[in-house]
Structure 1
Amino acid sequence: MNHRLKSIAARSLIAFPLTTLMAHAACTIPIGIVLPTSGELSAQGQENVQMAQLAIQQIDKAGGPGACRLKAVISNSQTKPAIGVDAAKKLVDLDHVPAIVGASSSGVSMAILTSVTAPGHVVQISPSSTSPAFTTLAQQGKTGGYWFRTAPSDALQGVAMAYVAHQQAKLRRVAVMYLNNPYGSGLAGRFEHEFKAMGGTVTASVAFNPRQPSYRSEVHQAMQGHPQALFLVGYPNTGEVIVREWISAGGPHTYLFPDALHAPQFVDAIGGRYLDGHTWGTVPGNTRTRSLGYVAKAFKRGYGHAMSESYDASTYDATAIAALAAYAAKADGAVTGARVRDMIPRVTDPKGTAVYASVRGFRKAEKLLAAGKPIRYIGASGALHFDTTGDVKGPMVVWRVKDGKIVPVETLSAKRIAAIGAHG
C-alpha cells in the first residue's frame, strides 16, 4: 500500500470517530458499512469509505434523527465473500444495525444478502454491486425487499459495452475473459448476448479465478480464434497480471475494460505505452446536479484531495439514503430494518419535495420527514428512484486512456442504452 492509501486508511478508520462518531449515550443509530479497505478493491474501497463517512457526518451535523446521533460502523470485506459475511453478521448481531451499506463486489454482496441481510430483515444498499443476478433474485421474491443499489445493473453496462465495441471501436471479433463470480459472469454474459445480436463474434469466453499465480493457460485459451480485442472483466490486481501475460503472449493490443478497471492504479501499472489509444471502457456515470458540486467541495475540504475513485458518488448516496430512511423511521416510531426498508420510498419519492446533498439540504429533509412528508433526494449521482427490484437507472460514461490517464469521452443516457438494447 502506498503512502497516500495508508494516509486514507488512517484518516478513514481512526481519525473520523473522534468527530462524527461521538454519540449521545442516550440514543445512537448505527449504520453498517462493509467495504474493502484492503485486498483487490482497496483503493476504491478506502475512498468509498470516506464518502460514506462524509454523508453520515453531514446528516448528523444537520441535526440527526431527533435526540439521536448517527454512527458509522465500518468493517473491511477484503473483497472476500466469507470475510464480508462475517463482518455483516457482527454488524447485525452485535452492533444491531438496521441497514448496511455495501458491499463493493457483487460476489461479496450476494453472500451477505442471501445469508445475513435478507433472512435477518436488515436493509442492504450496495453502491457498486452491478450483477444482473440481484434483479433476478428480487423478481423471485428472495430479497424480501431489503436489497437496493445506487449503481445501475450490468444489464445496462453490457449493452453499452457491446455498442462501444461494435459501433465505436469497430470490432467484429472479441475474446472475453471474466472473473468467475456473479459480477464477472453476469456482465460477460450480457455483453456476449448483445455483441452477437449486433453481428459480432465472441471468439472465446474464458472464466478465471482470483489470486492465481499465473493466467497463462486462460490467456492462451482466450487467444484462440484470432480476436481483434480482449474484453476483460476483473479487478485491478488480477487484471494487471492478465493484461501483462496477454501482452507477453502476443495478444492484440486493443482492450475493452468495464467499471472495475476504471482505476488509475490499474492504468498506471500497465502503462500508457500499452493502453494509450488502444483502450475503450465503460463505467456508470453521474447525472449532473448541484448535489455533485456540493459533495465534491465538501469532500476536498474534509480530506484534502478531490474525489477520484469509481462509485464515490453512489457510495455517498447509498449512505445518505440509509441514514435519511433511519431518520424517517425514528420520526415515525422504532428504527428497525423493516421500518428503514419501508421508509426508503419516502425519501426517494419522485413526487416529494426536492432536497440536495448538503448540510442545509439535510436540515430541510429532516424537517419534512419529521412532519411525515415525502422528499425527493437528489444525490451526488443524480435523482435516485428504486424500482420494485431495488434497481436504479443511470447513464454510462465511455472512457479511453490518453497519455496514461483515464479520459471520459461520451455519456450514454439510460434511455439511449435501452433503445440500443431494444434494437440490437
Structure 2
Amino acid sequence: MCSGESFAASVRRVHWFWEASEGKTTEQPPARVAIEELKTLTAVHFAMVNGDKQVDRRTFLQTTAVAGGTFSVAGCMGGGGSDTAVLGMLQPFTGEVAWVGESSEVAMNIAVDQINEAGGMNGTDIEIVTEDTEANQQTATSAIRKLIDSDGASAILGPTSFTLPAVMDIAQESQVPIISPTAGTSVLDDRGGNYIFRTSASDSLGGKAMARIARDNGYEEIAVMYVDNQGGRSFGQTVIEGFEALGGTVTTEVALTPGKSSYRSELTEAFQDEPEFVSLTAGTQTGQIILDQWDEQGLGGVWGLSNDMQTDSFAADVGAPLEDSYAIGPLPGGEKYDEFAAEYESRAGESPQPFTPEGYDAAMLAALAAEAAESNSGSDLAGEIPAVSKDGETVTSFQAGADALNNGTNIDYDGASGPVDITSQGNIRSSFAVFQSTGSEWEQVGEIAADSLDF
C-alpha cells in the first residue's frame, strides 16, 4: 500500500478485484494495482474457493481486512495507513450539557463493539474518535474540521442543536454525513437530507408534545421560559405555537441568558400572572438554578421541562420541589431498547439517559449505510442512510442487516429508539414518553403518539 494511503483504499481495490474476477464489472480499478498485489489477491481469492462453492463478498472482505498487511504494492514508498474506519463523535463534554457527551459515548461504543464483533464495517474495524464542542459554535467548527481532515471520519455522530447550524456547511462541502442523535432544532425540518440526518425528533414535534401535556392536564394559561440559543428558541417557540393552536393562552414569554447565577427577575416576570403551568427549556445547570430560586420564592405552579432535564441526576438533585412536575423524552423502543438498556446500565452504572438510544442507532445507521454502499467513504454511504432505515426486511442488529444486504435484500433498521424511518429531509417522526417527578426520580406516566401532534 502506498505511503499515506488508508487501508480502506486497499479494501476498495479488493472489492473491485472480487467484482472483476466474477465478471461483474468492467470498470477500471479505483487505484493502480501492481502485479504483485494482483497475484496476492488472486491467491487469496482462489484459496477461498471450496470446490464449486464461492465465499460471499462480505466474508472475502473480512478475510482480506484481517490479512491487510499482505496487500503491499511494490515500488511504493513507506508504510501503510490505519486499518480502522473512523466515526467522529462531535458532542459537548464540558459545560452544563456535558452529560450529553459522556452518556452518548457509552451508547455509541456499545454499537461499535457489536459492529466490530460482527466483522466490522465492510470488513474493517471501527473506532470512535471524540471531539468536545464545549457547546460553542467556533469550537465545534474547528473540531469537525479535525475529524474530517485529520482523522478521516466516514461520518459525524452529533452535535446538539446549538452547534449543528455552524457545522452543516462544512459537512456538506466535505461530503461527510452528519447523523445527530441530539439535535431537535427546527432548522433541520427543511434543510436536512443533504448529508444532514438525525435520529432524534424535531422540536416541531417535541414542543407540541409539551403543549399537549399542558392542555391534556386541564391548564388553560401557561408561561414559557427558554434559554435564548438555537435549541432553546426552537423548542420554546414551538410550545407557544402549539399551545395556542390547542386553544390555550400563553401569558408570558421569557428568554433566558445562560450562565447567570440568578434568575429571580426572570421568575418574577414569568409568574406575574400566576400561571399554573410553566414550560422551561434549559440545560441542567441553568434549570437547577431556576428551580432552586423558584422554590425559595414559593411561587407555586407545575413545571413542564424539556428533555435536557429529564435525567436521573437532575431529578435527584432538585428533589422534592420538583414533585408532580412533568418532562418529556423519547419513547423507549421495546425489546431492542431493553437489550440496549441492560448493556448500557452494565457499563455506565445507571439507566440510559436521554438521547442514548438515538446515539446507538446513529452509529448503527452509519455502519449499515456503508455496508449498503459497499464503501466506507462518507460521500458513498450518505445516500444509503435513508434507504437502510425503511422499506425493507426489518432488522434490529448490525449482523442481521449486513447479512441481508450481502444477500441482496433491502433492509429496514429498527433500533434501540424504535423504528428509525428517515425521510428525504433527514428527519424522523417519533412518539414521546411523558414523565412525572416523584420528588426524587422521573417515572413514565404516559405517552404521546406522533400522529396526535399534527395540529
Residue 377 in 1 paired to residue 413 in 2?
A: yes
Does the Cα contact within 8 Å between 2:275 and 2:301 map onto a contact in 1?
Answer: no
Structure 1 residue runs of 5 or longer lacking an equivalent are 1-21
Residue 411 in 1 paired to residue 447 in 2?
A: yes
Q: Say which one has the larger Rg.
A: 2
Provide the rounded CA distance (Å) in 2 between the counterparts of 1:295 and 1:266.
Answer: 22
Provide the rounded CA distance (Å) in 2 between the counterparts of 1:130 and 1:385.
Answer: 16
| CA positional deviation for 1:46 | 0.8
Matches within 5 A, 1:126-145: 126-138=180-192, 145=194
2:158 to 102, 125, 136: 102
Does the Cα contact within 8 Å between 1:132 and 1:155 map onto a contact in 2?
Answer: yes
Residue 263 in 1 paired to residue 317 in 2?
A: no
| CA positional deviation for 1:188 | 1.1
Distance 1:224 1:259, change over 3 A: same
SS in structure 2 opposite 1:251? Answer: coil
Higher relative contact order (CA 8 A, sep 6+): 1
Which residue in the other structure is 1:50 paired with?
Answer: 106
Superposed CA deviations along residues 198-255 of structure 1, whole A, max 9, x for unmatched, are: 2222111111122123223322222233322321100101111112222333422311
* TM-score (ref. length: structure 2): 0.78
2:426 to 381, 386, 390: 390
* TM-score (ref. length: structure 1): 0.84
Length, aligned pairs only: 378
Residue 123 in 1 paired to residue 177 in 2?
A: yes
What's the % identity of the aligned pairs? Answer: 28
Distance 1:292 1:86, change over 3 A: same
SS in structure 1 opposite 2:262? Answer: coil
| CA positional deviation for 1:182 | 1.9
Superposed CA deviations along residues 97-155 of structure 1, whole A, max 9, x for unmatched, are: 1210001x2011222224x21232210011121121211334xxxx6x11111111111
Residue 194 in 1 paired to residue 242 in 2?
A: yes
Provide the rounded CA distance (Å) in 1 between the counterparts of 2:421 and 2:389.
Answer: 6
| CA positional deviation for 1:371 | 4.1
Which residue in the other structure is 2:89 paired with?
Answer: 33
Provide the rounded CA distance (Å) in 2 between the counterparts of 1:372 and 1:326.
Answer: 14
2:337 to 281, 292, 306: 292
Does the Cα contact within 8 Å between 1:98 and 1:336 map onto a contact in 2?
Answer: yes
1:365 to 401, 405, 420: 401
Does the Cα contact within 8 Å between 1:296 and 1:306 map onto a contact in 2?
Answer: no
Does the Cα contact within 8 Å between 2:214 and 2:277 map onto a contact in 1?
Answer: no
Distance 1:180 1:403, change over 3 A: closer
Structure 2 residue runs of 5 or longer lacking an equivalent are 1-65, 69-80
Provide the rounded CA distance (Å) in 2 between the counterparts of 1:216 and 1:266.
Answer: 20
Superposition RMSD in Å: 2.1
Which residue in the other structure is 2:21 paired with?
Answer: none
Supply the AA of the counterpart residue of 1:340.
Answer: L
Matches within 5 A, 1:5-404: 27-103=83-159, 105-114=160-169, 116-138=170-192, 145-168=194-217, 170-272=218-320, 274-277=321-324, 279-288=325-334, 290-301=335-346, 303=347, 305-329=349-373, 331=374, 334-350=375-391, 352-357=392-397, 362-404=398-440
Provide the rounded CA distance (Å) in 1 between the counterparts of 2:82 and 2:140.
Answer: 30
Distance 1:238 1:369, change over 3 A: same
Superposed CA deviations along residues 35-81 of structure 1, whole A, max 9, x for unmatched, are: 22222122232121110011011011101134422121111222222
SS in structure 1 opposite 2:435? Answer: strand
Does the Cα contact within 8 Å between 2:157 and 2:180 map onto a contact in 1?
Answer: yes
